[in-house]
């Protein structure tokens, strides 16, 4: 059988990639055709995404694909969740979309919880409470920009917005819609209760479509501009974590996943939402997965801690590659300093190493002093947090977890993988690195009839990519560290 070709446009908080996938003989091959930085811009004190710049970079990548003269069948975009673009039928963008780390939601978040309460919001959505969620962004939009909202036909999540630019069809793919905290996973529709309670304009909310929906053909003007034929634009899983979980090379039912990158998303796959008092109190989230499955997970800070520390060191004239940072961490003293990565101070710090040192000082620990000590502190602390949440997941869902699949960019850190196994007492299976792009590409294959099922898709992943195995080591030392970690206090 001749190879089938698909394009994944994979947008992350740090960078974007255009990846060409070739499926043939039961295996998937990847080629990264174009990579570009995704730098937010600060304008008059507010943080925004440069979506025009992203669109130009995506088109540059498509031109590179077209130059290869492959018979491409499909194209799909995935991105982070919660952020959006406002559009109407005359203007493809009414204002620059805000970055989820912008401070505008702090007041609307507090006010919403005070006026409406956790119970109603969680019962309607099953989504964990975070100030960055779309609900609180839209409330800020209505308060601060009523004239723009009045002229808006609909909001579109980031990946869905680029689908709209590519083919002219504005739809909300369900995995991305489910991150908003305005989607009801039981009714599989927007929450009319919350829309009414918060008096949000109903007209803002686009139609929701399932993962793997064929939206339409690439616009003729873009075919002319890029040199591509009229490929089909497909809403695979528009949410990057949704796509990554699809590509977890798992078998059986005793496994959890960790999508490891800027954020760490740790969870299990369930047949239906799990929404009750216990899951609300533990602040777990129910996001839509491919084929009607539920991604029951916790969204926690991830390698953002290391990324921001690296950025701070670079500003001080000490530029370090991640390989060097990992080497220095491996050589550093174990358990010298620990932090709780979920502490609020680490979400939007001015200087990450300064905040980490302050946490350690305030909790009576030695402060990290070198990049190796900081990195070791971060990686050990993340691993301990993973272990803690796996135990909670096992208890709250009543599902045995003996294996943790780590996918995404963070799966390249052998040190973090081993630490995660040590801290959790579970086998860690690391890879594939490009899980998000793989999920994106192979959902396209299902949508176009080239694969039959999620099971077949995961079989292709297992046969196409190397998976590294880690088993627990130094368990006594890690048990002591777990007890110490449990006593660390968080600031609100």
For the domain made up of 4-240, the CATH class stated in words is alpha beta
pLDDT for position 492 = 45
pLDDT of residue 1: 61
| pLDDT of the residue at 13 | 86
User: So what's the pLDDT on residue 72?
Assistant: 97
Tokens of 371: 């990049």
Q: Is the pLDDT of residue 456 over 80?
A: yes
> How do residues 285-327 score in pLDDT, each as one tens digit?
999 999 999 999 998 889 999 999 999 999 999 999 999 999 9
pLDDT at 475: 84
Is the predicted pLDDT of residue 490 greater than 60, yes or no? no
Domain covering 248-431+452-492, topology:
Nucleotidyltransferase; domain 5 (3.30.420)
Evaluate if residue 2 carries a pLDDT over 90. no
How many other C-beta atoms can be found within 10 angstroms of the C-beta atom of residue 414? Answer: 13
Q: Please check whether residue 420 is in contact with residue 428, taking contact to mean a CB–CB distance below 8 angstroms.
A: yes
Instruction: Indicate the domain borders of the chain.
Output: 4-240, 248-431+452-492
Return the pLDDT at 489: 66
Do 4-240 and 248-431+452-492 show the same overall fold? yes
Indicate which residues carry an active-site annotation.
240
Residues above pLDDT 70, as percent of the chain: 99
Q: Average per-residue pLDDT in the chain?
A: 96
Chain Cα centroid distance, residue 120: 25
Query: Which residues are within 8 A (CB) of 488 and not within 5 positions of it... i.e. 6 or more apart?
Result: 338, 339, 340, 363
Q: Is the pLDDT of residue 425 over 80?
A: yes
Mean pLDDT calculated for residue range 415-437? 97
Task: Give the strand pairing for 427-430 and 403-407.
Answer: parallel
In angstroms, the CA 291 to CA 237 distance is 10
């Amino acid at each position: 059988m001749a190879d089938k070709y698909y394009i994944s446009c994979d947008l992350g908080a740090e960078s974007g990639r255009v990846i060409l996938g070739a499926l043939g003989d039961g295996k998937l091959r990847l080629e990264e055709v174009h990579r570009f930085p995704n730098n937010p811009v600060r304008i008059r004190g507010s943080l925004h995404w440069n979506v025009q710049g992203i669109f130009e970079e995506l088109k540059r990548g498509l031109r590179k694909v077209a130059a290869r003269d492959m018979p491409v069948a499909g194209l799909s975009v995935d991105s982070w969740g919660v952020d959006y673009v406002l559009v109407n039928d005359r203007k493809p963008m009414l204002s620059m979309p805000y970055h989820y780390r912008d401070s505008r939601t702090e007041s609307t978040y507090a006010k919403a919880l005070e006026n409406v309460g956790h119970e109603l919001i969680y019962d309607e959505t099953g989504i964990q409470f975070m100030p960055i969620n779309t609900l609180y962004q839209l409330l800020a939009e209505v308060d601060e920009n009523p004239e723009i909202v009045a002229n808006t036909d609909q909001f579109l999540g980031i990946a869905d917005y680029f689908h709209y630019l590519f083919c002219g069809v504005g739809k909300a793919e369900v995995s991305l819609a489910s991150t908003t905290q305005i989607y009801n996973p039981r009714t599989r529709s927007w929450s009319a209760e919350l829309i009414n309670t918060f008096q949000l304009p109903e007209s803002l909310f686009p139609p929701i479509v399932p993962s793997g929906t064929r939206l339409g053909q690439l616009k003729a003007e873009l075919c002319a501009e890029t040199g591509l034929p009229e490929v089909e634009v497909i809403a695979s899983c528009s949410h990057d974590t949704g796509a990554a979980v699809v590509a977890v090379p798992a078998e059986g039912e005793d496994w959890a996943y960790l999508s490891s990158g800027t954020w760490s998303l740790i969870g299990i796959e369930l047949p239906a939402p799990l929404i009750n008092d216990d899951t609300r109190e533990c602040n777990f989230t129910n996001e839509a997965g491919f084929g009607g499955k539920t991604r029951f997970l916790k969204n926690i800070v991830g390698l953002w801690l290391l990324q921001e520390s690296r950025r701070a060191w670079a500003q001080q004239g000490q530029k370090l590659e991640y390989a060097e940072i990992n080497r220095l961490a491996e050589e550093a003293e174990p358990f010298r300093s620990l932090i709780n990565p979920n502490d609020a101070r680490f979400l939007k710090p001015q200087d990450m190493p300064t905040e980490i040192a302050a946490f350690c000082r305030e909790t009576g620990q030695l402060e990290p002093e070198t990049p190796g000590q900081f990195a070791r502190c971060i990686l050990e602390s993340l691993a301990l947090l993973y272990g803690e949440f796996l135990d909670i997941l096992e208890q709250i869902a009543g599902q045995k977890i003996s294996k943790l699949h780590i996918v995404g960019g963070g799966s390249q850190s052998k040190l973090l993988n081993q630490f995660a196994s040590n801290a959790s007492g579970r086998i860690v299976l690391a890879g594939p690195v490009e899980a998000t792009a793989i999920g994106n590409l192979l959902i396209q294959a299902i949508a176009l009839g080239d694969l039959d099922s999620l099971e077949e898709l995961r079989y292709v992943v297992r046969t196409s990519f190397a998976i590294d195995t880690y088993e627990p080591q130094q368990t006594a030392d890690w048990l002591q560290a777990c007890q110490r970690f449990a006593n660390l206090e968080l600031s609100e």
